[in-house]
């Protein structure tokens, strides 16, 4: 079964088609990367998959269930997935309370240990009592990671989750992500503009250009033998990195 | 408006009853045209009207609280006080008349019956002319008025601190007795669930007076116009107009000036 | 006179406090709902709410008077000239203020908070609580403004309360009475008491505003 | 009667409109200043502002009456019982509302806007304009609430205006007069006119709120 | 003369010292990179240099003039410099008006051509009439770059200015930055967590760790022969990249 199954997703803003009839299938247990240039529509696609906004047309099924794009109806499904936004935000609370939020919402009682554990994994235990709003850009991304994984979602959707991090911390989060996937058998869908990251962590990679997925394959194949001409051009951009 | 010299503005501080009865609308145009004046009516409580006079914010007063008016003149704020007219207070109440006062000749007897039966009574409670008259009635009936009002748990005597119209409405809603001047009564009668029960007792006469404010108290006071107003309102012509004024077919005020001709 | 003053002051606090509480219980959830959702008719609701800011207390009082009067549809409840009627009147006046200000507090609170709550698995109820938490400065201001309005209001309570000594006289109606009697000084003194109550209330609310309380 | 009604309506609009305008000119810059800066005494100013939300119109009217009375310090200006005095009274009541709401609109507008403006070389004046632009939804709400308050207010204009026919009678004082005379129906009709004015004003402001106007 | 000269800058939040007596000198016309892990204090330092917040102690001189940390007094100086924040924001206006803002503020009249030119350089001309707030993460960074450079500041301070961009767009901005520096002789100070970027564009690189600048040198020297042990450790992080 596919953990994520999107069919014919289209979205326009005014006259401009930002997503053009996108079909996407992510197998259960896969780590799936979407790469593509700025403005390709990656974030828009992820937001639709998470039921944060409805598409103009098309359907999405997560873990085999159709989503309705109505917050209340999708509650059960939403509780089995998580999303780290490209611009994560912190509630006006301590870092610890921010991470505890997702547990509290699910009625989990013994939160302390789980939260501390999650913070430990992203190197933020020292800052647990600081206000979430005072975190630096990279710290905020790490907190968002802890907050999104602490409740063991089955589907994890990430939008440039290491954009503000340095190599040391990137490695920490990537390792955490890979071991999270192993332990939970979760499905991971990540958008990244960093093609090295896709190479390092993804089993499958899709290339998105101008609202379309132009190619999708094993990560190695995508990078070594791109079949689509436009993919080739875009992947060449890697060279400057 | 014709493009002649601006009329002189005169500030008349009066009680709401003269304004609400419509009397002023009836008689003032005559004054305005005779004196090329523009009378500005400030209709407030008697106490506030007297205070406006004290502060030099009104040129002439037209109120109905004789004792306070005389004090005002004695303290030098007013030039003199002339009677202008009177009307009657009446005691009104629910048609069922639980205290059985209907037709009682003396107002103080009626109050005694209300007190003894513990029937509901609404008081203006605002130190207005009507309220002052009511207090005098209680005293003359042999009661300690302050004693009555200081009973915080009293559920029969309701001191409202409101205007006459509001007091009537309240009495009607509560099916309580109250004292009202005839002008207001005729105006509001149709909307009320009350009837007149006691009238005609001489102590129920409600005397209105006019006082031109003493111009030496304050330079801004237009004493001349105040005096003109007092002269005019007590003149035979105006007195006749007052006598002619009717509200729903009833004469409301009886002119009775004491001005020496 | 002193026991009278105490009585009047306590009734003011009771009436306006209860009205503000009732209005808040009704209006904060509604304001959040209107502020968070997009739906048809939202603009109509905003228009009505804002228009009602300018709802004159006298008119509110009049409408309620006509309803509660013995000859009105709700006359049998016997509420006219009771503190309950005064509370109703003030609630009526405070509700649109609290709804409107809550709406704008909530809708200017970044949509990001709502989305983060939803993504982390919050149900509608918890999402609303979270948004209220994030918008609390604005919402508490709404409550303060509402209380101020209730406390300062006179036209409506005068009409439906009747300013009956010992029963329905509050600070504002007492001020009107004193003013009409020409006792300006006493009126001002009552005004000072009223402002002091407002200040104490404000101080308490501000402390609440500064510290976090829900999530 | 009809020309009277027109007169009363126009005077209401004139008095409340002018008062709101004056109050806004004074209070929006002050509110922005207080909202944007940190300084000692800021909390005191907030406290005062919020407290003044609950300033009863009657008391405001009394204070102004005492000042403007012929025996008061400003008596020589001869403003008592004029529309000017009514405008002053309403301005007094509207200023704290507009200051307070502008303050909170500005201070909840993300500090990022201020910083971006400063970094891009804006002087204080332009920074303020930019922040006002970004906070405009809240500020325009402040003005609307202020106008609503002015329009609905009766206690202060009654005292300092005197409710003089043809001169200082406005819709609210006319409503009081009609109610006193038992003309409830006419009172309600005047109330409807008042609400209509509020609604038209709101509609115009909302259009302004929706489109950008400054930067 | 040094374009940026900071002496003894310290800053604490509660008990924690985030910046510890930092001295920094950036020569006029240099492209200077600061690298360092998440939470090192990079953003805090840049904000102080831009007069956005005062330090607890220490002084800053830009282009030879001491800054006062009072917005009004530093106006003239601020107009000669620019800053791209780690989280740039757009005014509630069109992209074009956002970029025109810095010119408007300076009373420049003929803005259209300059603005269009700047948007062209960052590939945003097509979106010029969109609302700034609707831009994607990477588009926003490009807009911020255009907005910060359109008025030719002499000192340009950048905080992770390509964090949300893909290789193609990174190259575009880096090229634009280098040619901007050449044409204007401007001084560039950039914070980056991407050490390849420091290698590509910076002449001088400083390494910041835990509130201190532990090493500063020619970029090549820093990467090839780090003298500080901690720098060596941090630069090793590069390997995972
Ligand atoms: N509300 C909106 N109105 C108009 N255009 C929009 C709106 N939201 C997004 N867009 C446009 O849609 C396109 C896709 O946006 P999206 O955020 O999905 O891009 P992205 O692939 O995530 O880019 P990036 O890598 O820069 O984050 C962008 O060009 C953006 O400007
Ligand atoms: N207002 C504050 N209160 C408490 N701590 C703060 C505050 N602001 C910043 N900090 C802390 O100061 C440290 C330095 O923050 P800064 O934003 O300068 O880091 P940075 O080097 O830019 O990190 P990144 O690469 O993640 O952006 C961080 O650990 C942060 O949590
Ligand atoms: Mg994106
Ligand atoms: Mg940073």
Per-residue model confidence as pLDDT tens digits over B188-240: 888 899 999 999 998 899 999 999 999 998 888 999 999 999 999 999 999 99
Chain E residues with beta carbon closer than 8 angstroms to that of A42: 136
Picking from D78, D177, D182, the nearest residue to B220 by CB comes out as: D78
Q: What distance in Å separates residue E143's CA from the closest CA in chain A?
A: 12
Nearest bound ligand to CA E159? 4
Q: Which residues of chain D approach chain B closer than 8 Å at the C-beta?
A: 69-72, 75, 78, 80-81, 162-165, 167, 177, 179-182
Closest residue to atom 6 of ligand 2, CA basis: A134
In this model, does residue D176 exceed pLDDT 50?
A: yes
Residues E226 and E207: their CA atoms lie apart, in Å, by: 10
Q: Which of A41-45, B254-258, C17-21, D109-113 has the lowest mean pLDDT?
A: D109-113
Place of tokens 């893909």: E166
For position B4, what pLDDT does the model report? 52
Can you tell me the mean pLDDT for D110-129? Answer: 89
Chain E residues with beta carbon closer than 8 angstroms to that of A165: 38, 193
Residues D192 and C47: their CA atoms lie apart, in Å, by: 15
Phi, psi of E17 (to 5 degrees): -80, 110
Ligand 2 atom closest to A139 (CA): 26
Report the percentage of chain B scoring pLDDT > 90: 64
| E163 interfacial to chain A (CB closer than 8 Å) | yes
Chain E residues with beta carbon closer than 8 angstroms to that of A86: 137, 164
- Helix D136-152 to helix C83-108 angle, to the nearest 10 degrees? 160
Closest residue to atom 26 of ligand 2, CA basis: A138
Picking from A166, A173, A208, A233 by the largest number of E CB atoms within 10 A of its own CB, the best residue to mutate is A166
Residues D26 and D99: their CA atoms lie apart, in Å, by: 8
Inter-chain CB pairs, B–D, below 8 Å: 50
| E171 interfacial to chain A (CB closer than 8 Å) | yes
Which parts of chain E have pLDDT scores under 50?
238-241
Closest residue to atom 24 of ligand 2, CA basis: E38
Domain boundaries, position D133: 2-214
For position A226, what pLDDT does the model report? 79
A38 lines ligand 1 (CB under 6 A): yes
| A44 interfacial to chain C (CB closer than 8 Å) | no
For position C93, what pLDDT does the model report? 92
Residues A17 and A45: their CA atoms lie apart, in Å, by: 12
Q: What distance in Å separates residue A80's CA from the closest CA in chain C?
A: 8
For position E237, what pLDDT does the model report? 57
At A236, the pLDDT band (50, 70, 90 cuts) reads low
Is the Cβ–Cβ distance between B170 and C182 less than 8 Å? no
Closest residue to atom 8 of ligand 2, CA basis: A134
In this model, does residue D186 exceed pLDDT 50?
A: yes
Chain D residues with beta carbon closer than 8 angstroms to that of B57: 69-71, 80-81
A residues 182..201 contacting E (CB < 8 A) = 193, 195-196, 200
Residues E197 and E216: their CA atoms lie apart, in Å, by: 16
Q: Smallest Cα–Cα separation from E159: which of A137, D127, A143?
A: A137
CA of A123 to the centre of ligand 3 (A): 26
pLDDT tens digits, one per residue of A6-29: 999 999 998 899 999 999 999 999
Q: What does the angle CA B150 – CA B154 – CA B160 come to, to the nearest 5 degrees?
A: 75
Alpha carbons within 13 angstroms on the beta-carbon side of residue D76 total 1
C5-C11-C16-C18 Cα dihedral, nearest 10 degrees: 160
SS3 per residue for chain A: CEEEEEEEEEEEECCEEEEEEEEEEEECCCEEEEECCCCCCHHHHHHHHCCCCCCCEEEEEECCEECCCCCCCCHHHHCCEEEECCCCCCCCCEHHHHHHHHHHHCCCCCCHHHHHHHHHHCCCHHHCCCEHHHCCHHHHHHHHHHHHHCCCCCEEEEECCCCCCCHHHHHHHHHHHHHHHHHHCCEEEEECCCHHHHHHHCCEEEEEECCEEEEEEEHHHHHHCCCCHHHHHHHHHHHHC
Can you tell me the mean pLDDT for A78-90? Answer: 94
Q: Are the Cβ atoms of B165 and D179 closer than 8 angstroms?
A: yes
In this model, does residue A240 exceed pLDDT 60?
A: no
Name the DSSP letter for residue B86.
Answer: E
Q: What distance in Å separates residue D63's CA from the closest CA in chain B?
A: 14
Enter the ipTM: 0.81
The CATH number linked to C154 is 1.10.3720.10
Q: Which residue of B has its CA nearest to D78?
A: B220
- The SS3 of residue C170 is coil
At A235, the pLDDT band (50, 70, 90 cuts) reads low
Can you tell me the mean pLDDT for C147-164? Answer: 90
Can you tell me the mean pLDDT for C30-42? Answer: 84
Protein residues within 5 Å, CB atom, of ion ligand 3:
A 43, 86; E 136-137
CA of E19 to the centre of ligand 2 (A): 10
Q: Please give the structure tokens belonging to residue A231.
A: 């993919």
Is the Cβ–Cβ distance between A6 and A59 less than 8 Å? yes
SS3 per residue for B151-195: CCCCCCEEECCCCHHHHHHHHHHHCCEEEEEHHHHHHHHHHCCCE
Q: Tell which wins on pLDDT, D87 or D155.
A: D87
Residues E164 and E137: their CA atoms lie apart, in Å, by: 6
All domains of chain E, ordered by start, with CATH? 1-80+154-241 (3.40.50.300), 87-152 (no CATH)
Q: What distance in Å separates residue C108's CA from the closest CA in chain B?
A: 45
Can you tell me the mean pLDDT for C55-82? Answer: 88
Neighbours of A17 (CB within 10 A): 15
Burial (0-12, 13-18, 19+ Cβ within 10 Å), A137: buried
| A15 interfacial to chain E (CB closer than 8 Å) | no
For position D211, what pLDDT does the model report? 62
At A168, the pLDDT band (50, 70, 90 cuts) reads confident
E124 lines ligand 1 (CB under 6 A): no
Picking from C55, C58, C101, the nearest residue to D176 by CB comes out as: C58
E123 lines ligand 1 (CB under 6 A): no
| A71 interfacial to chain C (CB closer than 8 Å) | yes
Nearest bound ligand to CA E13? 2
For position D215, what pLDDT does the model report? 34
| B125 interfacial to chain C (CB closer than 8 Å) | yes
Closest residue to atom 13 of ligand 2, CA basis: E39
Picking from E19, E43, E143, E167 by the largest number of A CB atoms within 10 A of its own CB, the best residue to mutate is E167
Picking from D162, D181, D182, the nearest residue to B40 by CB comes out as: D162
Neighbours of C212 (CB within 10 A): 14
Picking from D109, D172, D203, the nearest residue to C47 by CB comes out as: D203
Q: How many domains does chain C have?
A: 1
pLDDT tens digits, one per residue of B56-79: 999 999 999 899 999 999 999 999
Is the Cβ–Cβ distance between D101 and D24 less than 8 Å? no
Inter-chain CB pairs, C–D, below 8 Å: 181
Can you tell me the mean pLDDT for B93-106? Answer: 94
Place of tokens 């704290």: D96
For position C105, what pLDDT does the model report? 85
D residues 109..128 contacting E (CB < 8 A) = 110, 112-113, 115-124, 126-127
Q: Supply the mean pLDDT for chain E.
A: 91
Residues A111 and C66: their CA atoms lie apart, in Å, by: 57
Query: Does the model's pTM come out above 0.95?
Result: no
For position B191, what pLDDT does the model report? 85
Q: Supply the mean pLDDT for chain D.
A: 87
Residues A114 and A94: their CA atoms lie apart, in Å, by: 16
């Amino acid at each position: 079964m596919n953990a994520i199954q999107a069919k014919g997703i289209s979205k326009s803003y005014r006259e401009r088609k930002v997503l053009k009839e996108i079909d996407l299938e992510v197998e259960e247990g896969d780590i799936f990367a979407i790469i593509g240039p700025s403005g390709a529509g990656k974030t828009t696609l992820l937001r639709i998959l998470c039921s944060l906004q409805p598409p103009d047309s098309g359907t999405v099924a997560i873990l085999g269930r159709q989503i309705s794009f109505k917050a209340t109806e999708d509650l059960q499904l939403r509780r089995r997935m998580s999303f780290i936004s490209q611009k994560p935000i912190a509630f006006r609370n301590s870092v610890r309370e921010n991470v505890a939020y997702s547990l509290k919402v699910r009625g989990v009682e013994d939160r302390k240990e789980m939260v501390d554990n999650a913070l430990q994994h992203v190197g933020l235990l020292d800052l647990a009592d600081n206000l979430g709003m005072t975190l630096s850009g990279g710290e905020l991304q790490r907190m968002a990671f802890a907050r999104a994984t602490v409740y063991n979602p089955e589907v994890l959707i990430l939008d440039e989750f290491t954009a503000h991090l340095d190599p040391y911390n990137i490695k920490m989060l990537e390792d955490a992500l890979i071991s999270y996937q192993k332990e939970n058998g979760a499905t991971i869908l990540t958008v990244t503009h960093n093609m090295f990251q896709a190479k390092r962590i993804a089993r499958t990679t899709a290339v998105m250009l101008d609202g379309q997925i132009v190619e999708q394959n094993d990560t190695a194949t995508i990078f070594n033998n791109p079949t689509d001409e436009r993919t080739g051009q875009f992947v060449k951009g890697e060279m400057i990195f | 408006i014709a493009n002649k010299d601006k009329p002189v503005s005169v500030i008349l501080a009066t009680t709401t009853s003269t304004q609400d009865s419509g009397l002023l609308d009836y008689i003032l145009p005559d004054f305005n045209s005779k004196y090329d004046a523009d009378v500005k009516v400030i209709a407030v409580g008697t106490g506030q009207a007297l205070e406006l006079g004290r502060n030099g914010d009104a040129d002439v007063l037209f109120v109905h609280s004789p004792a306070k008016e005389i004090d005002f003149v004695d303290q030098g704020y007013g030039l003199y006080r002339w009677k202008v007219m009177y009307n009657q207070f009446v005691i009104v109440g629910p048609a069922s008349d639980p205290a059985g006062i209907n037709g009682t000749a003396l107002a103080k007897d009626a109050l005694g019956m209300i007190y003894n039966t513990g029937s509901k009574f609404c008081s203006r409670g605002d130190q207005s002319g009507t309220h002052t008259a009511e207090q005098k009635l209680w005293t003359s009936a042999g009661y300690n008025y302050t004693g009555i009002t200081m009973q915080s748990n009293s559920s029969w005597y309701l001191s409202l601190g409101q205007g006459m119209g509001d007091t009537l409405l309240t009495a009607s809603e509560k099916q309580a007795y109250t004292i009202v001047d005839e002008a207001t009564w005729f105006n509001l009668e149709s909307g009320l669930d009350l009837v007149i029960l006691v009238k005609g007792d001489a102590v129920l006469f409600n005397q209105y007076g006019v006082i031109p404010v003493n111009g030496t108290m304050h330079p801004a006071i237009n004493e001349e116009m105040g005096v003109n107003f007092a002269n005019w309102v007590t003149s035979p012509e105006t007195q006749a107009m007052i006598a002619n004024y009717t509200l729903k077919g009833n004469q409301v005020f009886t002119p009775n000036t004491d001005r020496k001709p | 006179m002193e026991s009278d003053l105490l009585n009047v002051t306590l009734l003011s606090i009771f009436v306006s406090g209860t009205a503000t509480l009732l209005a808040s219980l009704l209006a904060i959830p509604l304001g959040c709902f209107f502020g968070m959702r997009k739906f048809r008719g939202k603009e109509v609701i905003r228009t009505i709410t804002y228009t009602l800011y300018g709802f004159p207390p006298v008119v509110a009082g009049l409408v309620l008077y006509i309803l509660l009067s013995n000859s009105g549809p709700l006359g049998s409840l016997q509420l006219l000239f009771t503190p309950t009627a005064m509370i109703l009147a003030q609630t009526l006046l405070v509700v649109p203020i609290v709804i409107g200000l809550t709406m704008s507090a909530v809708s200017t609170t970044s949509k990001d908070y709502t989305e983060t709550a939803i993504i982390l698995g919050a149900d509608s109820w918890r999402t609303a609580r979270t948004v209220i938490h994030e918008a609390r400065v604005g919402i508490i201001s709404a409550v303060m403004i509402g209380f101020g309005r209730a406390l300062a209001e006179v036209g409506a309570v005068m009409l439906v309360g009747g300013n009956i000594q010992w029963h329905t006289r509050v600070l504002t109606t007492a001020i009107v009475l004193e003013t009409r009697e020409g006792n300006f000084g006493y009126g001002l003194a009552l005004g000072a008491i009223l402002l002091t109550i407002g200040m104490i209330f404000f101080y308490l609310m501000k402390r609440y505003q500064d510290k976090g309380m829900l999530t």
